[in-house]
Amino acid sequence: MTSAVIMLGPPGAGKGTQAVRLAVELGLPHVSTGDLFRENLSNETDLGKLAKTYMEAGKLVPDDVVIDMLFGRVAADDCNGGYLLDGFPRTVAQAEALSERLADGWTTRTLQLDVPDESLVERASGRLLCKDCGNIHHEKYKAPAAEGVCDACGGELYKRADDNAETVQERLAVYHNETKPLIQYYDERGTLDVVDGSRTPDEVFNDLRGLLSVSGAPGQEVT
Ligand code: ADP
Ligand code: ZN
């Protein structure tokens, strides 16, 4: 059965870190709307220019814009066998658009990373990203061996413009207002699994992998 796997969680919950690993594990493309917007930003496309003000303020880009971009991306051949969504849907309107689009024979699996608000600002505002491979470090929790240099590939590390304490607070507020209702949305449809995202990345990954393993039985151990 073809699946759209949805990663749900507040900013700083570790969605990106886990999505990259899970995508490799599952052999599915990792489709991150945040990454798609950042690509458009650095290429200075019209879409990038439109998204910029919203992103820098920690606000959501309007639904119709995001939905168009996302549907364009998942129409590509590499998504025919399923894909892993990171950062989409973020509103009920986006979730409804996705449900409508997914034809018969597609299932959705929703994985929610649960992390208490207290840790999120520090997690997100200390984040360092690799320009070359997308690897995610953290100033305090996962400091690179050499300052400013990615452990994985030697690329240059940078800080996202919206990863400052003030904007992270705003993104968190937006998450509570707009995105949290999706927990209920997917729970009602029976596709939701919740994982405690406050543990180590390896522990979280093991749980996620277990949930997605062959039979897909929740809580199943993977050896
Ligand atoms: P986070 O680290 O908070 O999960 P992302 O990298 O997913 O952030 O997204 C960065 C920004 O891009 C968001 O704050 C928002 O402005 C915009 N964005 C990404 N995905 C969406 C979406 N599905 N709907 C609206 N805006 C989005
Ligand atoms: Zn790198």
Say yes or no to pLDDT of 216 above 70: no
Where residue 74 sits, what CATH number does that domain have?
A: 3.40.50.300
* Structural tokens at position 56: 């820098």
Query: How many structural domains are present in the chain?
Result: 1
Question: What angle, 0 to 180 degrees and rounded to 10, lies between the N-to-C axes of helices 92-101 and 181-188?
Answer: 30
- What is the best residue among 20, 37, 112 to mutate for testing ligand 1's pocket, by most ligand atoms within 8 Å of CB? 37
Q: What is the pTM of this model?
A: 0.90
In a domain, 121, yes or no: no
In a domain, 183, yes or no: yes
pLDDT band at 218 (very low <50, low <70, confident <90, very high): very low
CA of 13 to the centre of ligand 2 (A): 20
Say yes or no to pLDDT of 214 above 70: no
Alpha-carbon span 185 to 40, nearest angstrom: 30
User: Catalytic site residue 15?
Assistant: yes
Report the Cα 187 to chain-centroid distance in Å. Answer: 19
In a domain, 29, yes or no: yes
Q: Please spell the DSSP secondary structure of 120-145, one letter per residue.
A: HHHHHHTEEEETTT--EEETTTB--S
pLDDT digits (tens, 9 = 90+) for 113-126: 999 988 999 999 99
In a domain, 20, yes or no: yes
pLDDT digits (tens, 9 = 90+) for 181-207: 999 999 999 999 999 999 999 999 999
* Structural tokens at position 102: 């997914």
Report the pLDDT value the prediction gives residue 201, as an integer from 0 to 100. 92
CB burial of 102-118 (b: ≥16 within 10 Å; e: otherwise) equals eeeeeebbbbbbebeee
Alpha-carbon span 25 to 44, nearest angstrom: 33
Alpha-carbon span 112 to 117, nearest angstrom: 14
In a domain, 139, yes or no: no
Structural domain harbouring 104: 2-116+169-215
In a domain, 146, yes or no: no
User: Catalytic site residue 171?
Assistant: yes
The reply to whether omega before 29 is within 30° of 0 (cis) is no
- Which numbered atom of ligand 1 lies nearest the CA of 87? 7
In a domain, 177, yes or no: yes
User: Catalytic site residue 199?
Assistant: no
In a domain, 186, yes or no: yes
